[in-house]
Structure 1
């Protein structure tokens, strides 16, 4: 497989989309019918609690958990006085000045609920189309920074100023990257469509109760097509005839240039299995990522950040140590760029490259990481190598990572990744017996524990057990509980 392709695997329970670049899976998107993503959805919410200490408020939008709205995401109050440049001043208002409990307002989800946190909201509502993004009640025109040609930017700005003044003078617009080659007719159609959609949304909001959804973003398969701006897709393969028909109709209306590239995959072998996507999904859930040279990466997700550690592993190089380290770090930088997209890792990311002495090597490794992230749709910011040899970066996070979507914490270790050893549990058990023996008068003591703990007690710890039994003066009996995890035990006095 060459070029860039989209593979879509559709079932009634979930939709999965894989972006494949030159035969390599670089992005995975998943949406389940029982738990659709909320980013982009618009709700009529009610403020249920204002928190001045956090400069934020909790808003009830009808979800399981109340959503979070920070003061910086609330449209500020306009002041009549003018700033030095003659424009109206916008002063920062505290959350108590902006909102009150019980107030109803229109909000949009900008971050899905992640872990124990509720959704993140904004009152700066935006409505996207293929070429434009509508910014209601704002007066500015923005142009995507990915459109770099000055002549094109000037043409688009002039066209949009004219269209805005004619059809939607009270609203602002952002011109998306996909509009770089769009003519005035296409932009005009989008302006009219977005204006009508916004009027419909306002009417719906006025006639519904707080806590209801006003507008949901497109389903995954259509949203992916809309947002793949600037990506030259050679082919889109879909294994569901019904979805293929819907995608074609959507493309004919909004993205006609893609219509001929949309194919129905009728094969009996699952499409994700045929192109090794299933195998990539399994590998993306593992901590360890093998490099071709013999080195490897270790990914660890925590609540606060994601850490990436690079090791030379079996790679011994051919010239000298510095050259070996440099080549491993270069290969690691390319692999990390792909893995961040594949695993959809976001937030703060700390990369521990192998220590390099040569400043030029450090610069080239950072540049290799930047190149690997150039095609990433999520906004990334990379810092230089720190004095400790670490690279700090951030990647915008709006949805759960692949691991959080597909996995849940281990019920045995609680997500720690470790269990107390049988030896540790034995010694805890000894202390519990001593503590209980001082408080209760019993004829016999019974220990309920897992097989591994009792085996250790009766074998390697038998002498210690005999001394303890003599000290407490009570016979100790043992009972294996097959349902107990290694850390579990009970001491029962009879």
Structure 2
């Protein structure tokens, strides 16, 4: 399967698409007015310590104070493998109000929630991750070949003991196949970077960022430019030169794959990426078989419902359901990556009575999720026939970046019917009649509501005028949306 990275540079926005098999699988967006914060390191100051929550609020210079839980702090050495984790110490033993603390953003602010912090700092480079406060070494679990894992463990352990025995070092997935010289050079770079960060942190004022992650285009090269990526195309000459220099320094074996795109069509029109973005902002996702998914994202969780739609199959009902669910499992895995959905996710597949069919669907889902760089955990079908899963969430979803709540429904996804609004107006007129000694009333409302009020129905105003013995006039206001109205005593 061919894989490409497309980079679109705008005046105030950078967009990156990871394309696999001629279809966009991941979309990353960074805007000048709204930078992602994950990975940034700040010198913060503790504002409040909350013993009941085992957490603290820390001021790091953002719009809202950030949240630091005791589980994300240095809490002493871990036990042996298989042992229960040691009990967490009271937060009051670790922090006090007014204390300065060096923290890293784990999760961007989401909705009304502030950023999530950690004192367990990590600084990534191309091949390695430096852990300044956790003295252990390891290899990414995504590297499955046992011989390669052992080779990397030996190299990392030797380099760690020689250069930084007090620090921890993790070999990233990109380290697979890298030689010892490249890994050591990577570690030496990280140590120089950490020395610079430490020096700045000692003198910086609280609320200051002491280390920021790379710009999006460079971060994507560092994190996604693996051996399976055939080429990286970028549509801006100046940024192309920067990326090529960055690639020559950090990923020299892949520098030749970075190309300047000079085609006549916009770069995101290749492979229909713009269309994929538009479709990723809708609730409904059509399947090739005629079925469809319905995706609803809430603050608590994301739900995905699978429907057969127009697909009727050619054999029997069970085979139709299995085929739809198998196709849906592939589409779900792609949509999770494309929309960057995270947290708790509930999948409502079409009900299957056959246990073997359920197992096939779960295997298909897990197979597709293996290509996802975000950590996922899938659980078996529940007694209600639902599949619960989690996907690690760090940055905001594509929908949260590109959209905002509807001004009419205020994010509810629905508006009151005309009939409901008419009943509300009638009640408001009755309330105003008891409250004011008015000779008449004027109702201002949306045109379709006024039209319904004027009709000779129980919802109309004729019966209400007779009941109150006072005239009621209406006035259509095109600027009012369907739920808005005013009752004015005259």
TM-score, scaled to structure 2: 0.96
Which residue pairs with 1:63 in the alignment?
62
Spell out structure 1 runs of 4+ moving beyond 6 A. 82-85
Cα distance change, pair 377–83 in 1 and its aligned pair in 2 (3 A): closer
Report deviation, 1:491. 1.0
Q: How far, CA to CA, are the matches of 1:311 and 1:231 in structure 2? A: 38
Which residue pairs with 1:242 in the alignment?
238
Q: How far, CA to CA, are the matches of 1:111 and 1:216 in structure 2? A: 14
Q: How far, CA to CA, are the matches of 2:217 and 2:228 in structure 1? A: 17
Q: How far, CA to CA, are the matches of 1:277 and 1:47 in structure 2? A: 44
The DSSP-based 3-state class of the residue aligned with 1:457 is helix
Whether the 8 Å CA contact 1:168–1:191 is kept in 2: the answer is: no
Whether the 8 Å CA contact 1:74–1:123 is kept in 2: the answer is: yes
Whether the 8 Å CA contact 1:177–1:229 is kept in 2: the answer is: no
Does 2:56 match 1:49? no
Does 2:270 match 1:274? yes
Whether the 8 Å CA contact 1:295–1:312 is kept in 2: the answer is: yes
Which residue pairs with 2:389 in the alignment?
393
Residue among 284, 290, 297 paired with 1:288: 284
Whether the 8 Å CA contact 2:23–2:272 is kept in 1: the answer is: no
Report deviation, 1:84. 9.3
Whether the 8 Å CA contact 1:77–1:98 is kept in 2: the answer is: no
Whether the 8 Å CA contact 1:107–1:121 is kept in 2: the answer is: yes
1:52-102 alpha-carbon deviations (Å, 9 max, x no partner)? 121111100000111110110111257xxx9899x9x96521111111110
Cα distance change, pair 312–460 in 1 and its aligned pair in 2 (3 A): farther
Whether the 8 Å CA contact 2:416–2:482 is kept in 1: the answer is: yes
Q: How far, CA to CA, are the matches of 2:5 and 2:79 in structure 1? A: 50
Q: Higher mean Cα deviation, 63-72 or 473-482?
A: 473-482
Does 2:410 match 1:414? yes
1:115-174 alpha-carbon deviations (Å, 9 max, x no partner)? 111110000001111111101032211111122233332332222222222211211101
Cα distance change, pair 318–99 in 1 and its aligned pair in 2 (3 A): same
Q: How far, CA to CA, are the matches of 2:307 and 2:134 in structure 1? A: 51
1:310-338 alpha-carbon deviations (Å, 9 max, x no partner)? 11111111111111111111111111111
Does 2:107 match 1:108? no
Does 2:474 match 1:478? yes
Does 2:307 match 1:311? yes
Which residue pairs with 2:209 in the alignment?
213
Does 2:356 match 1:360? yes
Cα distance change, pair 327–463 in 1 and its aligned pair in 2 (3 A): closer
1:202-244 alpha-carbon deviations (Å, 9 max, x no partner)? 1101111000000000011111111126551011110011111
1:432-466 alpha-carbon deviations (Å, 9 max, x no partner)? 11122112211111111111111001014377422
Structure 2 regions of 5+ residues with no counterpart?
none
Q: How far, CA to CA, are the matches of 2:333 and 2:143 in structure 1? A: 23
The DSSP-based 3-state class of the residue aligned with 1:285 is coil
Matches within 5 A, 1:61-210: 61-76=60-75, 91-210=87-206
The DSSP-based 3-state class of the residue aligned with 1:46 is strand
What RMSD over aligned residues (CA atoms) do the two structures have, in Å?
A: 1.8
The DSSP-based 3-state class of the residue aligned with 1:153 is helix
Which residue pairs with 1:345 in the alignment?
341
Whether the 8 Å CA contact 2:378–2:388 is kept in 1: the answer is: yes
Q: How far, CA to CA, are the matches of 1:202 and 1:354 in structure 2? A: 54
Cα distance change, pair 229–19 in 1 and its aligned pair in 2 (3 A): closer
Q: Higher mean Cα deviation, 42-51 or 227-236?
A: 227-236
Whether the 8 Å CA contact 2:302–2:346 is kept in 1: the answer is: yes
Residue among 420, 440, 443 paired with 2:439: 443
Q: How far, CA to CA, are the matches of 2:485 and 2:133 in structure 1? A: 63
Which residue pairs with 1:18 in the alignment?
17
Does 2:32 match 1:36? no
Cα distance change, pair 185–454 in 1 and its aligned pair in 2 (3 A): same
